[in-house]
Chains A and B, each alone.
Chain A
Amino acid sequence: MREVAIIAYAQTPLVRDCGAKNDVELVMEVVNAVKHQVGFTNQDLDFFCSGSCDYLGGSAFAFVNALDALGAVPPINESHVEMDAAWALYEAWLKIQTGHANTALVYGFGKCSQGDLPDVLTLQLDPYYTQPLWPDSISLAALQARALLDAGKITEEDMARVVQKSRRNAKSKPGTQLKGDYTIEQLLAEPKLVSPLRKHDCPPVTDGASAVILATREVAEKFHKRNAYITGIDHRIEAHQLGSRNLIDSMSTRIAGEAAGVAKGKVDIAELHTPFSYQELLVKQALGLGDDTVINASGGPLAGNIMMSAGLSNFGEVAMRIIKGEANRGVAHATSGPCLQQNLVAVLEGK
């Protein structure tokens, strides 16, 4: 297995509405930033892969227009997944394992302010039995939260603590959308949006983009004394119908975590793509993370959730902290689909 490191990371500010920036202008910002961090031009990059969703902007080929941001002249080796860009990173990681590439630039973008996100996500659901009823993404998450509360696995205070931690951590990272100091009492005093979830238990709508550069050890060692290597990466999917899934567990996260080798050592930090507060508790438990793991030091998706790129951002957040020596070993997680139907887990280690 070839050792692959994340040597550069960039993310746009997390904002409710990036206004005059179109997809290309968002992607240019992060693609040129990561190239600049390591002095790469397209000649130094063997593969490009991205993740996005056409429906966010209501145009059939959003990712085609974004290609302008890459300067793909002469032509480049490039692919695209209509999933969170964390799966684009997985495709690039596989490409490097085949030997067809030693370096790769992976990016994702989502200008979510354009559409009505909870309704757009309804189109992910079974087109015959479920989508025609228009259950929005918040309503579905509320069903899972209720099941966890009923099973005594979480309490409303637990959920408030996750939000409190996210808002506090978000203060330390520039460009986060929602930050500040709140007491548990203040949070619990808020009205329910869709019971049992309050508005702050739900992810904000965020415009943005992020990018990383992957490189084999031989290349990575030129840039950092200490690099963040992917030592394990795996992803799994669960059944689609909520009514035939065990909602108080995250089976796919557990299998992916075992396959990625999360338990093989102490986990100093973890960036979990858990857009709803209760999901951080569920994913933490499924990965077997202890209280000694700092979770979502960046504030996580509750502080700003770039649809289609929040999962990729987690890889960058963990890698940069390892490179800076703030941690030795970390976990990056990404999710896709309603109520954590599909999950990707990676372990990064400093060497």
Chain B
Amino acid sequence: MAQAGSEHAADDVLRASFDVGYTYQRLVGPVIGEFLTGLRDGKMQGIKGSNGKVICPPTEYDPVTAEECSEFVALPSTGTVKTWNWVNQPRPNHLLKKPFAWALVQIDGADTSLLHMVDAGSEAAMKTGMKVKVRWAAERKGFITDIECFEPA
């Protein structure tokens, strides 16, 4: 869609805004498909990596050994905040519209962390090591936003 926005030649420069937009159709393959299917059904899963590690979110290949991963592990919907930040003014593209935290959440039973949002209400409520739980989206379709966000447990 090429919408050339308002042209104005204020100073000596010709400016115009335009959008570059497309809805990408991503085929996800077996591993990501399995994880997203689980989310759709309200289930959290990890995958067995090398050296007994459990990786969540499940990746197709172990980040250290490059070995292919395939064995899924059921996990609870709770976890621990390993690090976090506080977004005072959400950007237009951010999915939560009032101040929130991004966090790396280590789901109980996993050895790696998942990047997602935490709706904690205020920065003061955020602390490294705090327990959080998934707030499942009302309608789920097999997409990472089936986890609407995390909230303090």
Q: Do chains A and B touch in the complex (CB under 8 A)?
A: yes
**Measuring CB to CB, which residues of chain A are less than 8 angstroms from any residue of chain B?**
19-20, 58, 118-119, 122, 127-130, 132-136, 139-140, 142-147, 150, 191-197, 239-245, 247
**Residue from the set A135, A195, A243, A247 with the largest chain B CB neighbour count within 10 Å:** A243
Contact (Cβ within 8 A) A119 B91:
yes
Interface residue ranges of B50-69 to A (CB < 8 Å): 55, 57, 59, 63-64
B11 adjacent to chain A (CB < 8 Å): yes
A147 to B128, CA, bound (A): 9
Contact (Cβ within 8 A) A241 B91:
no
Contact (Cβ within 8 A) B93 A244:
no
Give the dominant DSSP class at B's interface. mixed
Picked from B24, B104, B123, the residue with its CB within 8 Å of the CB of A195 is B123
Interface size on B, residues (CB 8 A): 42
Picked from A147, A193, A194, A239, the residue with its CB within 8 Å of the CB of B83 is A147
Q: Report the minimal beta-carbon distance from B2 to chain A, rounded to whole angstroms.
A: 11
Residues of B within 8 A of A136 (CB): 91, 93-94
Contact (Cβ within 8 A) B95 A133:
yes
Residues of B within 8 A of A143 (CB): 83-85, 102-104, 115
For the A-B complex, the count of residue pairs with Cβ-Cβ distances under 8 Å equals 108
Can you list 9 residue pairs at the A/B interface with Cβ under 8 Å? A19-B13, A128-B28, A132-B143, A133-B95, A133-B145, A134-B94, A146-B84, A147-B83, A193-B88
**Measuring CB to CB, which residues of chain B are less than 8 angstroms from any residue of chain A?**
11-14, 18, 20, 24, 26, 28, 32, 36, 55, 57, 59, 63-64, 82-88, 91, 93-95, 102-104, 106, 112-117, 123, 128, 143-145
Residues of A within 8 A of B85 (CB): 139, 142-143, 145-146, 194-197
A239 to B103, CA, bound (A): 18
A254 to B22, CA, bound (A): 39
Contact (Cβ within 8 A) B144 A132:
yes
